[in-house]
Homo-oligomer: A and B are copies of this chain.
């Protein structure tokens, strides 16, 4: 659906002189198309209600970012911002939109974890688990969501990309196992989204096994080495957060 309204792309190089060449492609997996398709799907999941949430995909040195404050299910490839990964300058900046305040947070996942896709949702299940933790209603502690012995945990990779250096030395690979405890750090929300940068970066550093950071009363950031991994981990986490809320309602313990 995304690509059907597009003129066939005949761009052969993405020179900076040609703004639209960065975002027009008839490849449905081109980041500018892929972001539109994913946001349409995420809208259906209730993750990006009312312009909330966002997504960024890094391809080579180009970072594609959905704009701020737009209806996520209706985005077009030409709405997309494109940033140079190294210089952090905008190669493409649609004048009618504001850049996403999530940009420094997406970049944190790219630079500190080698991720190339990062998804931010306002999922109600993510918000509710942070509230349950804040109120001390489960034993996982105020600043971390923890759950164990649920099969879907096996859908989560160590560090978000399946490879992480653990502080005590040694390197761990692959996904969590059924008997591992999933732990996702929770940081406090701030008045302005970009002000989450320092605490989010700190959480990424302090939790080498995490694929995500929860933001209290706000939502979650989830990353992966590619789009598939980021998206499927975001789905698995959302399933886990919803299950955790339902478990809590039934009086069942998470850990």
Q: Chain A residues in contact with chain B, CB under 8 A?
A: 46, 49-52, 71, 122, 124, 127-128, 131-132, 135, 137, 149-152, 155, 177-179, 189-191, 215, 217-219, 228, 231-236, 238-239, 242-243, 245-252
Rounded to whole Å, the gap between the CB of A216 and the closest CB of chain B is 9
B191 and A151 within 8 A (CB): no
A250 touches which of B52, B137, B252 (Cβ 8 Å)? B137
* 10 A-B pairs in the complex with CB atoms less than 8 angstroms apart: A49-B239, A50-B239, A51-B236, A52-B239, A135-B250, A135-B251, A135-B252, A151-B217, A178-B189, A248-B250
Given contacts A128-B243, A239-B122, A243-B127, contact A149 B250 (CB under 8 A): no
Which residues of B sit under 8 angstroms from A152, Cβ to Cβ? 49-50, 52, 122
Given contacts A122-B239, A252-B135, contact A52 B151 (CB under 8 A): yes
A151 and B215 within 8 A (CB): yes
Given contacts A190-B178, A217-B151, contact A247 B128 (CB under 8 A): yes
Which residues of B sit under 8 angstroms from A217, Cβ to Cβ? 149-151
With A and B bound together, what is the CA distance between A249 and B124 in angstroms? 14
With A and B bound together, what is the CA distance between A135 and B155 in angstroms? 25
A250 and B128 within 8 A (CB): yes
Which residues of B sit under 8 angstroms from A131, Cβ to Cβ? 247, 250, 252
